[in-house]
Structures are given as structure tokens and as C-alpha cells.
Structure 1
Amino acid sequence: MILLCPPGVYRAQSDTAVLADHLARHAAGRDVLDLGTGSGALTLAAWRSGAASVTGVDLSRRSVLTTRLNCRLRGAAVRVHRGDLFSPVRGGRFGLIVANPPYVPSETAVLPRHTAGRCWDAGPDGRAVLDRICAGAADHLTPDGRVLLVHSAVCGAEETIDRFAATGLRAEVVERARIPFGPVMRSRAALLERRGLIPPGERREDLVVVKARRA
């Protein structure tokens, strides 16, 4: 699916495709929340998969406008809100929450707000946004709801599982996909080596899809 994607908006890549495949198995008939919608790839994937309703959220005004336009061009009846993760849907409950959040380890804990780096920078361990999603998801799930999120194994799949468990959700890795480093990860390879997040010379990573639901 070819989407409009202006500068500063996350362009769907391998991680989006891996997550979209799992989303298609779970979205039908469910109210779906897409956190960090970017260009709207997962929002549209949920709509195409027969979701009962789809809500996209992004902190970036440009991403919100891009998703709205991409959905309008395809006749997709979805809601798109600008805001920080769950804040625009406070009190809402969803049968499926999906997220492809920023997860690339960065130099500092200060996250960019107005540059392209906000699409991938996620603090020293890459978990600045991941941990917030893990902490808040349970409060926005229906009793039979589930969460699907994708990130690099560099950030620690077991840590994600443990974070979900702390909120009463049972989580597991449902897919691993080994891919070459993209441009951002390649540019950070020396940093990742210094921090012990990858072995010397490693230039491939495992993407993991984690599924969580109530225990």
C-alpha cells in the first residue's frame, strides 16, 4: 500500500509490515487503537481487516494530518487524534491496541519533539516510549482485549514481557524477524556496541512482535 509520507513522518518499514500481518489476524470486529500512527499504515490495515472502529493517535501534528489524508483518500472512516499516547482516549476501552513506537537507543534521555528523530529516538535503552505503553495498556483494554507491539530485540523482549506482567497482562513473543540494520541503527552501531546492546560487528537485529492479554 503506497501512502503519502511527507518529511518528518515515519515511513512504514519492515517493522510495520511484520506487525500488520499479526494485526490482520485480530482486528476483525474489534475497536482498534493505533498508538503512534505515523503515516496511517496500521490504522488503514486495521480498517481493511474489518475492525469495528479504528482510532489513530500521534503526538505529531504532521503525522495526524498525513494519516487523515491517507485515510480520506481510501474512504476509510477512522478517528485520528493528536496527543501523547493514551491521553486523547482517556477512559476508552479497546479490543486491540497496536503500536510501532520509537525504540532506537539514543545518546540522551531527552527525546526530540520537532525533528525527524522523534520517529525513532527512545532514550539510552530504547524503552522510553515502550515502557509507557506497557504501563498504560491494561487500563484501556476490554476484558478480552489484547495488545500487539513491535520493537527491536536490542531493547529487551523479556523486559517488555515483564512490564506487561506487572500490570496483570500475560505477554509472549509471537514472532521474530531478523533483518539488516536500517540507516538509523547503522549510524548508532558504535553507540550500541559501547553500551553492550549488540556484540562488536553485529549489523543485524531481530524484530519482535509481542502480544499481551489479560492473564
Structure 2
Amino acid sequence: MDTTASDPLSLGHGTVYEPQHDSHMLAEAVVARGLPKAARVLDLCTGSGIQALTAASLGAERVLAVDISIAAVESTRAAAYRLGLDVETRQGDLHVALNHGPYDVVLCNPPYVPSEHVPPTEGPSVAWDAGVDGRAFLDPLCRAAPSLLSESGFLLLVQSEHADVPKSIAMFEREGLRTSIVARRTIEFGPVMLARAAWLEANGLIEKGCRTEELAVILAERNTSGA
């Protein structure tokens, strides 16, 4: 999926996290997986709204887009209106999402970039800065996943290898979910990662000279096999 000025999913120029490699990987994963009939879908950390809009276009019965950023919420609401799609939007965090669940499908492209700063609560970097190990949002999400999901629900999460994909998988499995990696892609560092590469190297978060990252889409779902 190409992000161009004519693309209706290229949203929020300069105000929210515009669709990038990870955004498109996650959207492609939900299209490939498909939605259950009459699906209730959560797009958590909606950003541009691409996941919510994708789910709505696939025929979800209810789509809720949640983001801490009011700019992201307004951008998603405007895009849904422009495209004639039914998407409910709410400003808030994981707790807001939990209060409106459970969901048959949860889609999440969270902040996962390691940062020496405390995760922000406003501004553009709220979309990527995630504490010193990149897991300020990932850890609470992994713990809360069972509470977000319906009895047959599944979650699709995209993150970087530099925020510890194996830990996410282990945490999901500890919560009783069955997991797999459904997509992988290696990309060059973007501007944010390049700008802090020296800090990442100094803190042992990447190997010296590393300027690539592997993105992974993780599927976590209820184990309905009875195993």
C-alpha cells in the first residue's frame, strides 16, 4: 500500500503518526486474516486511523478507535466521515478501551521506540516514544489482552525487534493466549531511530553499526482447542 497525497488513508499530515511500514503491515495482516461475522473491533493507538478504517471497510459491525492524542481522534473521525465509514472514536488510553470491551478483534500499532525520556502524554512523539526498553505500553497491553478479547477473539500487534518481540510472545502465552508471528519485514531506520542510534548503541539496545530493524506482526488468540 503506497502512502501518497491522493491516498485517503494518508492522514493527519504533521499532526498525527502517518501510515508507515508498520501501519501497512498491520492493515495487510487484518485483511489476510479477515474478520469474524458481526465483529466488534478495537483499534488501540489509532494514530491516523488506518486500522479502524480498514476494519470498517471489511464490514465490522462496530469499530472503536482509541488514542491518547486528540489530534489522532479528530483525524480518524474526519477520515471515517469522508470515506462514509462507521467508526466510533474516543480519546483515552488502555483503560478506556477496557471499559468498552470486550472485542472480537483488537488491532494495535503502539509506541515501541526505546527512549531515554519518560513517555510523553502529548505531542507527535506520543506515537513512538515508549520508555528506555520500548515497552512502556507493550507490557500493560500484553497483560490486559485477555480482558480485551471476547471468548473467540484475537489480537494483532505490530512492533519492532528492538522492543523485544520474544517478551511480547512470552507474556501473551503466560496469559493463556496462543501466539504466532504472521508477518515479518526488515526495514532501514527511519528518522526517529537514526536520530537516537548513538544512544541505542551506548545502552546496548542495538549492536554497533546497526541501522535496520525487523518489524513483526504478532497474532495472539484465545486457545479454543481445549489444550
Q: Same fold (TM over 0.5)?
A: yes
1:18 to 1:88, Cα distance in 2 relative to 1, 3 A:
closer
Q: Tell me the secondary structure at the aligned position of residue 150 of structure 1.
A: strand
- Aligned-pair CA distance for 1:89: 4.4
Within the alignment, does 1:138 sit opposite 2:159 as a pair?
A: no
What RMSD, in angstroms, separates the aligned Cα atoms of the two structures?
Answer: 1.4
Indicate if the aligned counterparts of 1:26 and 1:96 stay in contact, CA closer than 8 A. no
1:82–1:88 Cα contact (<8 Å) kept:
no
Which whole-Å CA distance do the structure 2 matches of 1:158 and 1:48 have between them? Answer: 32
Q: Which residue of 2 aligns with 1:127?
A: 135
2:56 pairs with one of 43, 47, 63: 47
Q: For each residue in 1:61-91, what CA deviation from the matched residue of structure 2 results, as whole angstroms up to 9, or x when unmatched?
A: 1111111001000001111111112424415
Residue 28 of structure 1 contacts residue 50 of structure 1 at CA under 8 Å; is this kept in 2? no
Could you tell me which runs of 5 or more consecutive residues in structure 2 were left unpaired when the two chains were aligned. Answer: 1-6
- Does the Cα contact within 8 Å between 1:55 and 1:78 map onto a contact in 2? yes
In structure 2, what is the Cα distance between the partners aligned to 1:155 and 1:195? Answer: 13
Q: 1:211 to 1:183 in 2, by over 3 A?
A: same
The residue number in structure 2 matching 1:155 is 163
Deviation at 1:174, TM superposition (A): 1.6
Instruction: Give the CA deviation at 1:118.
Output: 0.7
Residue 185 of structure 1: aligned partner: 193
Question: Percent identity at matched positions?
Answer: 42
CA contact 2:44–2:97 (8 Å) conserved in 1: no
One-letter code aligned to 1:197 = L
Deviation at 1:52, TM superposition (A): 2.1
Structure 1: which amino acid aligns with 2:174? A
Q: Name segments (4+ residues, structure 1) moved above 4 Å.
A: none
1:94 aligns with 103
- Following superposition, the deviation at residue 18 of structure 1 comes to 0.5
CA contact (8 A) 2:36 2:104 kept: no
Deviation digits for residues 155-214 of structure 1 (CA, Å, limit 9, x no counterpart): 111100111122211222221100111110111111111122211111111001000012
State the TM-score, normalized to the length of structure 1. Answer: 0.95
1:50 shift after superposition: 1.9
| SS of residue in 2 equivalent to 1:55 | strand
Residues of 2 paired with 1:196 and 1:42: CA distance? 33
Instruction: Please give the secondary structure, in 2, of the residue aligned with 1:199.
Output: coil
The alignment status of 1:17 with 2:24, answered yes or no, reads: yes
Matched residue SS, 1:151: strand
Maintained 8 Å contact 1:39/1:66: yes
- Alpha-carbon distance, 1:114 to partner: 2.2
On the 8 A contact 1:86/1:136 being kept in 2, the answer is no
Structure 1 partner of 2:3: none
Q: How far off is 1:26 after superposition?
A: 2.6
